[in-house]
Structure formats: C-alpha cells, structure tokens
C-alpha cells in the first residue's frame, strides 16, 4: 500500500543500492552524521530520534541498503554494538560486530571516492546486515570528513 509522502503524493516502492523496498509503511530509516571523531550510532528519522536506535526486543533489524554523502573522500564501516555512543564521538563501541571486512582501524567496507563527493553523491550500497534485538546499529568513519549515512531496513 502506498504511503503518503508530504504533499508530493504516494510511492509504491523505493529503490536504494539496487534493493527494492516494497513495504514502505514498515520501512525503518536510520541516519547519522559524522566528522572528526568518527563513531556514530544511527538514529530513527521518522519520528526523529534524539538517541541511538536500539533494535526492538525479540526482533532482528535487517539493513538492506545504505546511502552515503560526504564533503570529501571517506571510508566507513557498518556495525552494531551494545551501546549508544552518540553522534561523531570518540566514545568506544562496546562489543562491536562489523559488517564484512570493516573494523575500527581498517575501515574499508564502504568507500566514497573523491569523484563521488559533494553534489556527485550519494553513493548507495546493499550490504544485507542483520542487527540482533536490543543492539545499536552504527557507523565508524576514519577519515575525519563530514558525512551523512542513511540506512534502510525492516525489523522482523
């Protein structure tokens, strides 16, 4: 069923990173911005969250796509942890679990090259990353550049 989008009308599907989202009303959209310090817990966008998003107890959040924009080349890792570190902090993640080859020091899972910065972005990826109940999905950036990361998924 189409979901109203402001005064623009309705949409049936949304495609990000090649993944087609068909259940728009059940879609969870999380976002974060980073910069100098690099550690960022994702926050719910609708309604806006003032704290990091914790996956609902008894459910798993599957992130199917992410988009990234930056003012300069950057590298990011997607992860989940036991704690909410805030936005753009040096606070350490507790028991972090990284997607793919990412880590706190070798941030290589998602790269925005110089050719895709600023008005040339956003870059989109389809990671398929499962975040267990009560964990906090997050991003770590090791480049010190200002960025915006948005993650899209469903809880089940």
What is the b/e burial string over 108-147, where b = at least 16 CB atoms within 10 angstroms of the residue's CB? ebbebeeebbeeebbbbbebebebeeebbbbbbbbbebbb
pLDDT given for residue 5 in this prediction: 53
Task: Determine, yes or no, domain membership for 63.
Answer: yes
Task: Read off the pLDDT of residues 74-123 as tens digits, 9 standing for 90 and up.
Answer: 677 889 999 999 988 889 999 999 988 666 655 555 655 655 555 555 77
Instruction: Give me the CATH number covering residue 84.
Output: 2.60.120.340
**Number of domains observed in the structure of the chain:** 1
pLDDT given for residue 142 in this prediction: 67
Range of the domain at 137: 28-155
Task: Read off the pLDDT of residues 102-114 as tens digits, 9 standing for 90 and up.
Answer: 666 555 556 556 5
Task: Determine, yes or no, domain membership for 106.
Answer: yes
Task: Determine, yes or no, domain membership for 19.
Answer: no
Task: Determine, yes or no, domain membership for 124.
Answer: yes
Task: Read off the pLDDT of residues 40-77 as tens digits, 9 standing for 90 and up.
Answer: 999 998 777 789 999 999 999 999 998 887 766 667 78
């Amino acid at each position: 069923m189409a979901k109203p989008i402001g005064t623009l009308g309705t949409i049936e599907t949304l495609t990000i990173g090649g993944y087609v989202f068909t259940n728009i009303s059940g879609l969870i959209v999380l976002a974060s911005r980073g910069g100098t310090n690099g550690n960022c817990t994702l926050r719910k966008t609708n309604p806006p969250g003032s704290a990091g998003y914790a996956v609902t107890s008894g459910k798993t959040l599957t992130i199917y796509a992410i988009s990234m924009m930056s003012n300069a080349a950057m590298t990011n890792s997607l992860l989940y942890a036991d704690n909410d570190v805030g936005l753009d902090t040096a606070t350490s993640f507790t028991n972090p679990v990284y997607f793919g080859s990412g880590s706190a020091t070798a941030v290589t899972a998602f790269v925005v090259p110089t050719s895709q910065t600023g008005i040339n972005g956003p870059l989109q990826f389809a990671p398929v990353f499962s975040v267990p109940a009560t964990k906090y999905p997050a991003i770590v950036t090791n480049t010190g550049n200002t960025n915006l990361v948005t993650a899209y998924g469903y809880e089940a």
